[in-house]
Amino acid sequence: MLNTETPSTRHPDLDSYATPALLDAFIADQNAAVAAVQAAAPQLAAAVDAALPRIRAGGRLLYAGAGTSGRLGVLDSVELYPTFSWPRERAVAVIAGGASAMFVAVEGAEDDRAQGAADLAALQPGPNDVALLLAASGATPYVLGAIEAARAAGALTIGFANNPGAPVAAQADIGITLDTGPEVISGSTRLKAGTSQKIALNTFSSALMVRLNKVYGNLMVDLKATNAKLVRRALALTVRASGASEADAQAALAQCDQHVKTALVMLGRGVGADEARALLDAADGSVSRALHP
């Protein structure tokens, strides 16, 4: 029996717990998710380093999964645009059962290997693309079909699974095993197995974005200021990183469509928006190098 399906021996009387003890059991069990990702750090680092040149060459991040894993892939792909101004067309996710499976479970769809291959192939993957294949069991047919299609197109494949020796990890170019063990509720991989996948995806994509110069220091300076909250955040980040007054920061941001990176170079180098953009382009998007060539 797979580790993720094996009944936990730690809480055999879970249904009799009082609410505080019940919550303690669920919360404490999540520690295993963090430990599993920490153990997989070398493989995650290898994945970031292998993905980086492909993404720099214009490749995309392509996600495929089913159920909870599929929804986590969609979540990671969607959040890269507002957080890092990553183009939507360069982070694309497919999920077993189609887009509606984000909201209504389509359980049988995960068993369709041919559909997984077809959905991934429909994205027209190429050698510069990076496919992230997610399956808690590590043997989901839909995801295995997606791996086949990605590999056939020459894309880099990175497989995430929660069981040692899983086909999803073994068949990918880089396998990342997040060995979270049995769940508190037996087989419910939306618990710590899902948590570990969320942490791993956050870690991978955030590290990749840092390497792509989407961050200045530890500040999120390439965000898309698409609502009032993010406009305020852009102003606060510009003031903090530049040391300029709020009025000067606001004036700079108004001239560059609220783009923090551009505003920082404008303020730091005493140039206009067009020249600041040119300096950033020459520095491969690095604020540090644009400010201190």
**Which part of the chain is CATH 3.40.50.10490?**
3-211
Per the CB < 8 A criterion, the answer to whether 230 and 220 are in contact is no
Q: One digit per residue, pLDDT tens: the chain, 293 residues? A: 789 888 889 899 999 999 999 999 999 999 999 999 999 999 999 999 999 999 999 999 999 999 999 999 999 999 999 999 999 999 999 999 999 999 998 888 999 999 999 999 999 999 999 999 999 999 999 999 999 999 999 999 999 999 999 999 999 999 999 999 999 999 999 999 999 999 999 999 999 999 999 999 999 999 999 899 999 999 999 999 999 999 999 999 999 999 999 999 999 999 999 999 999 999 999 999 999 98
- Position 144 scores a pLDDT of 98
The per-residue pLDDT for 1 is 79
Active site (annotated) includes residue 110: yes
Query: What was the pLDDT predicted at 150?
Result: 98
Q: Give the predicted TM-score (pTM) of the model.
A: 0.94
Q: Indicate if 79 belongs to the active site.
A: yes
| pLDDT recorded at residue 293 | 85
The second-level CATH assignment, the architecture, of 3-211 is 3-Layer(aba) Sandwich (3.40)
Structure tokens at 92: 């694309």
> Which ranges in the chain are annotated with CATH 1.10.8.1080?
228-291
140: closest CA among 107, 173, 118, 180? Answer: 107
Angle made by CA atoms 226, 252, 220, in degrees to the nearest 5: 50
Q: How far is CA 17 from the centre of its chain?
A: 35
What single-letter amino acid sits at 80?
Answer: L
Residue of 5, 79, 107, 246 marked active site = 79
- The CATH-assigned architecture of domain 228-291 is Orthogonal Bundle (1.10)
Catalytic option among 5, 89, 107, 110: 110
Q: Which pLDDT score is estimated for 129? A: 98
29-175-195 Cα angle (round to 5): 25
Give pLDDT, residue 195.
Answer: 98
